[in-house]
Amino acid sequence: MQQLQRKQAGKTELAFGPIPLSNQLSHDFLNGILALPWVRNPTAQPNNIQITYTSDTGLVLGPFNLTLPPNGSVLHPTIVNLVAPLYFTDTAFSESFVFEATSLSGLPLIGEMILTDFFGPDADGLTDDDGMWLDFGDRFRMGSAMMANTADSVLVNPELTYQVGDPGVTTLMGIWNTGDVDAGPVSIRYHDRNGAVLGIDNIPSMPAGSQRLIGPGLATSPNYPAPGVFDGWVRITACKKGLIGWTMRQTEGSGFQKVYGETLHGTNAKEPGIGFPAAIGNKTWVRKVKPVSQVWDVDDGFWWPGYTNFVNDSVSNIGRYVYRFKDFVGGASFGSASFSGLRYANTSFTYEDELVSTPFNPALVSGRVDHASGVIKGIGAIGDPLYEWQFTDFVPFPTCSPGNP
């Protein structure tokens, strides 16, 4: 799941945080993270940039001054070099960093933060019995998100799912006050898919530079909903602008264990956009696009099928809407029936496999949500991990079988 990015005039600063660096947190993905910031110069001119990292204890790494060539980029390994050796020791630690990149040339920047995790929990639990708190190579997964170029007072996570069992899904979030003043109080409201409030967490004070992690059992979110939530959503509201943040979904179980996520809505100005007009027959729709998804024509029992979801948090009802898909190979069109509407604070969700019929199995498709009015915020999950996809140079591989490694 990933958002394409566009160059935005005047957006010369990028930020990302919090970046948890820990071997003590209660959620596996938050332990053992090796963060790789990727900053790109989307212009035709050399771009002088400055990179800094700041921890929640006040430690500052940098500044690092670099020159990015026209349309060039940098993958910055400072956090990896700092923390990787610690994960191989018996030192217990839990710290958090934030990342900032600024163009000294006054030119736009775009960026991505890649959160890799090569560690699993210790074989006997989170205990120091073998000189390490984590087991290296126990698994590999990563989540990534756009870096923020805009801070706001309202952030939205359009999908909240918390399921335990096999498989299980836990939605995690992180927020950072990038502003110069206290943004608090901050309210975190958890909704189910029909708009009902499942719980509210309040942060009375969130001083400048402070960071918070949100998830089951974490200190910031004692009122996080109980397991059993599917396709809800979250609104985070501060009293002052300054917030940015991300969301990740940690999956567990006997199948492939992956992490996927994105930036919280409200942190990237013109991204991901409000949609564009699309005329079909005698009707003009508001369209939002998912460029690529992986679908299977039949129910294969895959753990993580591709899906699309969105929340209406803009108008009383968005009116009629429809899911549409187009096959990459043959150009054939598929879709759902037209739905009568979606009320305010409600979400819509669809798995994609059963909506597409194609001789290629698996198949690559592009997706669209066409709706009558309003602005929707959504997430599109491409579907199963690459190991399950059996991709060959990004071409559908028709002999793939989910039962074969």
240: domain CATH number is: 2.60.290.11
On whether both 313 and 368 belong to a single domain, the answer is yes
In a domain, 36, yes or no: yes
Q: Specify the pLDDT at position 59.
A: 93
pLDDT at 400 over 80: no
Residue 109, pLDDT score: 97
Give pLDDT tens digits for 320-372.
999 999 887 767 788 888 899 999 999 999 988 778 776 666 778 889 999 99
Most confidently predicted of 24-33, 134-143, 313-322, 330-339: 313-322
Lowest mean pLDDT segment, chosen from 14-28, 240-254, 300-314, 368-382: 300-314
Q: Is 283 contained in some domain?
A: yes
**Residues 259, 177 within the same domain:** yes
Average pLDDT over the chain reads: 86
Cβ atoms 100, 119 nearer than 8 A:
no
Q: What is the pLDDT of residue 133?
A: 79
Q: How confident is the model at residue 299 (pLDDT cuts 50, 70, 90)?
A: low
Model pLDDT, residue 271: 78
pTM: 0.90
Q: How many domains would you assign to the chain? A: 3
Give DSSP secondary structure letters for 5-68: ----TT--EEEEEEEEEESS-SSGGGSSEEEEEEEE--SSS-EEEEEEEEETTS-EEEEEEEEE
List C-alpha distances in Å: 196 to 141, 193, 377. Answer: 33, 8, 18
Residue 104 sits in the same domain as residue 15: yes
Residues 2 and 142 in one domain: yes
Do 145 and 156 belong together in one domain? Answer: no
Task: Indicate whether 206 belongs to any domain.
Answer: yes
Confidence class for position 166, pLDDT limits 50, 70, 90: confident
Is the pLDDT at 229 greater than 60, yes or no? yes
Residue 76 · residue 51 · CB < 8 Å: yes
Q: Of the candidates 182, 156, 157, which has an alpha carbon nearest to the alpha carbon of residue 239?
A: 182
Higher pLDDT pick, 397 / 298: 298
- Whether residue 272 is contained in a domain is answered as no
Query: What is the average pLDDT across 381-399?
Result: 45
Same domain? For 281 and 256 the reply is no
135 and 165 in a single domain? The answer is no
> Which residues span the domain enclosing 315?
277-389
Q: Which residue has the higher pLDDT, 105 or 121?
A: 105
Q: How confident is the model at residue 390 (pLDDT cuts 50, 70, 90)?
A: very low
Name the token pair of 55.
Answer: 């921890």
Q: Are residues 136 and 200 located together in one domain of the fold?
A: no
185 with 132, same domain: the answer is no
Same domain, 301 and 380: yes
pLDDT at 301: 52
Query: Does one domain contain both 177 and 244?
Result: yes
DSSP secondary structure letter of residue 152:
B
Stretch 296-322: mean pLDDT: 82
Whether 308 maps to a domain, the answer reads: yes
Q: Are 238 and 142 contained in the same domain? A: no
CATH number of the CATH domain containing 383: 2.60.290
Residue 134 pLDDT exceeds 90: no
Q: What is the pLDDT of residue 404?
A: 29
Over residues 200-226, the pLDDT tens digits come to 999 999 999 999 999 999 999 999 999
DSSP character at residue 204 = S
Q: Is residue 404 part of a domain?
A: no
Instruction: Give the domain-ending residue among 121, 149, 177.
Output: 149
